[in-house]
Amino acid sequence: MAQPSSRRSGFSKKQQYSVFTGYLLASLGAILGLALLALSLWQPAALQPLRGGANDVSATIGEAPATARAGGNNTWDTIKAYWQAGSQNADLRREVEVARIRLAEAQAVEAENRRLKALLGLAEENVEPVVYSRLVGSSSTSARRFAYLGVGSAAGVEIGMPVHSERGVIGRVLETSRASSRVLLLTDSESVLPVRRASDQTVAFAEGRGDGLLRIRLINLGLNPLEIGDVFVTSGAGGYYRPGVAVAVLSEITSDGGIAQLIAEPSATNYVVVEPVHETLAVEASEVRDGEALSEAGLGEEPVNRPENASTGD
Residue 275 touching other proteins (CB under 8 A)? no
**Helix extents (H) in the chain:** 13-42, 48-85, 88-119, 280-287, 296-301
Write down the least CB distance from residue 74 to other proteins, Å. Answer: 15
Rounded Cα gap, residues 135 and 284, in angstroms:
28
Q: For other proteins, which residue of 12, 16, 17, 44 counts as binding (CB under 8 A)?
A: 44
Are 159 and 175 a contacting pair, CB within 8 Å? yes
* Options 12, 16, 17, 38; binder of other proteins; rule CB under 8 A: 38
Please, what is the Cα angle at 153 between 172 and 276, to 5 degrees? Answer: 45
- CB closer to other proteins, 27 vs 87: 27
Indicate the residue type of 212. Answer: G
d(CA 303, CA 300): 7
Residues from 197 through 216 that contact other proteins (CB under 8 A): 209-213
Q: Which of 12, 45, 54, 154 binds other proteins (CB under 8 A)?
A: 54
3-class secondary structure, 172: strand
Smallest distance, Å, CB 236 to other proteins? 24
Residue type at position 32: L
Q: Cβ of residue 288: shortest distance to other proteins, in angstroms?
A: 26
Residues 107, 311, 206, 164: what is their CA dihedral angle, to the nearest 10 degrees? Answer: 60
Instruction: Indicate the residue among 82 and 271 with the shorter CB distance to other proteins.
Output: 271
One of 137, 150, 152, 257 touching other proteins (CB under 8 A): 137
Closer CB to other proteins, residue 46 or residue 85? 46
CB of 42 to other proteins, least distance (A): 10
List the interface residues with other proteins, window 75-134 (CB under 8 A): none
Region label for 33, one of left (φ > 0), alpha (ψ between -120 and 50) or beta (otherwise): alpha
Tell me the window of 59-67, 95-103, 113-121, 285-293 that interacts with other proteins (CB under 8 A). 59-67
> 7-36 mask for other proteins (x: CB under 8 A)?
x--------------xx-xxxxxx-xxxxx
Question: How big is the site for other proteins, counted in residues (CB under 8 A)?
Answer: 66
Are 167 and 269 in contact by the 8 Å Cβ rule? The answer is yes
Separation CA 279–CA 235 (nearest Å): 12
Question: To the nearest whole angstrom, how small is the minimum distance from the Cβ of residue 211 to other proteins?
Answer: 4
- Give CA–CA dist 120/64, Å, rounded: 49
When binding is defined by CB under 8 A, the residue of 13, 14, 125, 143 that contacts other proteins is: 143
> Given phi > 0 = left and psi -120 to 50 = alpha, else beta, which region is 119?
alpha
29 versus 156: smaller Cβ distance to other proteins: 29
Residue number with CB closer to other proteins (213 or 226): 213
Among 16, 17, 39, 127, binds other proteins (CB under 8 A): 39
CA distance 237 to 283: 10
**31-65 burial, b if ≥16 CB within 10 A, otherwise e?**
eeeeeeeeeeeeeeeeebeeebeebbeebeebeee
Q: Give residues 249-268 in contact with other proteins (rule: CB under 8 A).
A: 262, 265-267
The CA distances from residue 189 to 72, 212, 223, in Å, are 29, 9, 26
* Residues at the site binding other proteins, with contacts judged by CB under 8 A: 1-7, 22-23, 25-30, 32-41, 44, 47, 50-51, 54-55, 58, 61-62, 65-66, 69, 135-148, 182, 185, 187-190, 209-213, 262, 265-267
